[in-house]
Copies of this chain bind each other. A is one copy, B any other.
Amino acid sequence: MRPENETEGRRRSFIEEARRRQIIAAAVEVISEVGYANASLARIAKRAGISKGVISYHFDGKDELMAELVIQLYVSGGEFMTPLIGAAVGPHDQLMTYLASNLQFIDANRIYVAVLTDVVLNLRNADGTLRFTSEGGEEPIIRPLIDILRAGQDTGVFGDFDPVVMAKVMRDTIDGAAGRAIREPDWDAGTYADEVCRLFDLATRKGKGE
């Protein structure tokens, strides 16, 4: 048995990291097929081609595995979008890029997004509260969006609206699109992105008379 249970950033060997990624990958596959509720460790282990005990060995328990899965998927999403948005110039372009790249990422990673959603909406703490969607937990996620909107208002590019509410609606549009990407096989990300960009362009641009 490992000498102790690493809770934080304790160093892990390369081989151990590989095992963890392998197990998480198997978990993603299983959840995408049968849903979080039916994704037992037995099923995940069988999918990974290993024995059940290995999972318990590498993770503190099922919950830690799921939490790690969420973090890993979320990080890989950020890695995809951050450079794209950074390359855009000015609030308007940044906003459009933010929306488009998010939808594009969803389109290219439908399964991952579906699994992420499933876990986030189901994984709970011991006291019954949701682990990831707890109050205020969204703040870091929509922070950059709010910043873009505020910058646009300050520079006179955007009109007069509540940037927090606007950011939340945008976020819900993206999350909702994630659901569509899962449920609607012929959902077309490109045209959807075009329409969404146009919509929010109209909603945020400075009015003629203003």
Cβ of A169 within 8 Å of any chain B Cβ, yes or no, is: yes
Looking across the interface, which residue of chain B has its beta carbon closest to that of A192? B165
The reply to whether the CB of A20 lies closer than 8 angstroms to some CB of chain B is no
Contact of B180 with A196 in the complex, beta carbons under 8 Å: no
A180–B195 CB distance below 8 A: no
A92 at the interface (CB under 8 A from B): no
Question: Which of B168, B179, B203 interacts with A180 by CB under 8 Å?
Answer: B168
- Asked if A124 lies at the interface with its beta carbon under 8 angstroms from chain B, I say yes
What bracket does the count of chain A residues touching chain B fall in?
A: 35 or more
Q: Can you list 8 pairs linking A and B with CB atoms under 8 Å apart?
A: A1-B42, A1-B52, A4-B46, A33-B128, A35-B130, A36-B122, A134-B183, A202-B207
Chain A interface residues toward B at CB < 8 A: 1, 3-4, 33-38, 42, 45-46, 51-52, 118, 121-122, 124, 128, 130, 133-135, 138, 161-162, 165-166, 168-169, 171-173, 175-177, 179-180, 183-185, 191-192, 195-196, 198-200, 202-203, 207-208
